[in-house]
A and B are shown apart, each in its own frame.
Chain A
Amino acid sequence: MSFKRIWALFVARNYEFVRDRAGFGWNILFPFLIVAGFGIIFSSDANTPFKLGVFSLAPKSVVIEELSIPERLKSSDYIKIVPFETYDQAIDKLLHHKIDLLVENKGSRFRYWINESSPKGQILEKIVRESVLNEEIFLDHLEKNQIQGANIRYIDWLFPGILAMNIMFSSLFGVGFVIVRYRRSGVLKRLKATPVTAFEYLTAQMVSRVLILLFTSSVVWFGCDLFFSFQMQGSYFDIFCIFLAGTFCLVSMGLIIACRGTNEELTNGFINFICWPMMFLSEVWFSIEGSSEWVKAVAKGFPLTHFLSAARKIINDGATLTQVSSEMGILLGMTLIFLTIGSVLFSWTK
């Protein structure tokens, strides 16, 4: 093994990354687009879970406080009031699931319409019904308790998932796809004709991609933090270790995809075939708690599941490295397995 050769390949790969203006620009722009997207989603009312249509109203001059609907519906942070001029306009939106429930803005009798095939409509109906009852009647039947400690906002839970997802896509496409392209175009064949070994080449590719990903992830992290002030409960060193291990593991996975093949379309399809189930089952966007056991078992086979579990424990719960040692061990073990398979199966030309 020659460190001189690894360094030369590492530097060359970094030049390639930085000088490819389109690719580099996208890698820098993408995190900011994510930040901007989150800014829009979480600072506007677009994340209001329920949409309540109200007719007949003049949409441009609606004053929510003056509506003739129950006060609890008007004041809820989780219900967005959508005004309509006519019944026909409103019912069409209800039919197409654009709103979850429709009420009439009239005094005496409170009339509402619901699309029976809408799950959110069913829930909103219960809220609407409850809103016309006197709250006193609940007191004898229900007892409200607050959870202890700081609340975890959804964005604090989601953010590690977004970062890990970005790393997953960049690892698999940035290593797997690029190496297959190099193989097809003969770059790898030219390298095979030199004293460079497969181990040296793959090491340089891995280290380069890991550093690039850690850099871009840091940009996303601090960029998002400016807008959302994340609640970081654990230590930055611990989270760095988990991100390092997770990134190495996903890049190693990319090496398995890259070990053979010259067909870029096939590789593209194969990477997507791996990425999409991993993204959904590893709880990037939503929890799979309550899913069937086999779904949870499949999820445990994905490195992203363990990466995210450890990252969330540190960021959201303040766990230490010792407390996430099982996830860390699994990630390191998977990295070793992926690297071994990738190195054994690697071909410069086939």
Chain B
Amino acid sequence: MSALVNIIEVKNLIKSYNGQVVVDGISFCISPGSCFGILGPNGAGKTTTVEMMENIIDLDSGDILYKGAQRGKTFSQQVGIQFQHTELLSYLTVEETLKTFGAFYQSHLPVADVIELCMLDNIKKKMNNKISGGQRQRLLLGLALLNDPDLIFLDEPSTGLDPQARQHIWSIIRGMKHQGKTIVLTTHYMEEAQNLCDTIAIMDRGHIIEQGSPDHLIEQHCKEEDCPKNLESVFLKLTGKYLRE
């Protein structure tokens, strides 16, 4: 039986801005079909790490392999990306935006299916500049899923959403996991990470300071009786309680 190939392998990744190292020699692997969460305080290097994996920014050194090989020209055809901050073309409707982005790929899911999946039907004729923050997040998620990717990067997908919208985003992510998709998730919501992620890497100051399943991390770091048995306790214990920004 052949060994299971990691869908992503990150090796000794380094990135600096203006002489300041923001990602400092991190390495990890992500297995296919899993949800890999990256947590960390603001400025920990999460977004930089993810954007290097997405091929949006260049690495200073290190290596990133996709399915055991260098990321080639077809990488962008096979991944779906939802950025933390993105504006869209203001005067396109939701449906036109999906159709426009669909045309960028060799093949894509039917736009109607994405509209249904992300519950965009009642706003599909609305211009992008007329939709709410939650509706915009659902559209951005729809764009990330449009090309039926093997690997999906979600950078804080539920930030700013109300509990109902967040639950809906979670249910879509769970659905993707059931379909065997691999998800890389960054989030500030510990509950979200605990609910969705199979493996979590906690970053601080450009390093991965801890990695494992949510249960394993809780078990390992919440041994004291007065320590609440949740991921937030683990996070605060490892990264401290003082403000970073």
Contacts and interface: CB of A to CB of B under 8 A. Distances in A.
B77 A195 contact: yes
Interface stretch (A6-14, A133-141, A314-322): A6-14
Interface stretch (A15-23, A228-236, A293-301): A15-23
Interface of B: 54, 56-57, 76-77, 81, 83, 85-92, 96, 99-101, 103-106, 127, 143
A189 B86 contact: yes
A5 B101 CA distance: 9
A302 B100 CA distance: 37
**Main DSSP-derived SS at the A contact region:** helix
B83 A190 contact: yes
A117 interface: no
Given A5-B104, A8-B104, A193-B56, A16 B92 contact: yes
Contacts of B96: 12, 15
5 contacts: A20-B91, A187-B87, A190-B88, A190-B143, A349-B56
Nearest to A19: B91
Nearest to B99: A8
Interface residues of A, number: 22
A185 interface: yes
A202 to B, nearest CB: 15
Contact of A12 (B85, B92, B127): B92
Nearest to A4: B103
Contacts of B105: 194-195
Contact of A8 (B56, B86, B87, B100): B100
Contacts of A8: 99-100, 103-104
Interface of A: 4-5, 7-9, 11-12, 15-16, 19-20, 185-187, 189-190, 192-196, 349
Contacts of B104: 5, 8, 194-196
Contact of B85 (A7, A11, A19, A186): A186
A284 B91 CA distance: 35
Contact of B92 (A15, A186, A190, A192): A15
B119 to A, nearest CB: 21
B87 A192 contact: no
B81 A193 contact: yes
Nearest to B75: A195
Contact of A193 (B83, B85, B89): B83
B83 A189 contact: yes
A5 to B, nearest CB: 5
Contacts of B87: 185-187
A196 B54 CA distance: 15
A177 B18 CA distance: 27
B81 A15 contact: no
The interface centre, meaning the residue of A15, A20, A190, A192 with most chain B CB atoms within 10 A of its CB, is: A190
B100 A187 contact: no
B15 to A, nearest CB: 14
Contacts of B57: 349
A185 B92 CA distance: 16
A187 B86 contact: yes
Contacts of B127: 19
Contacts of B100: 8-9, 11-12
Contacts of A349: 56-57
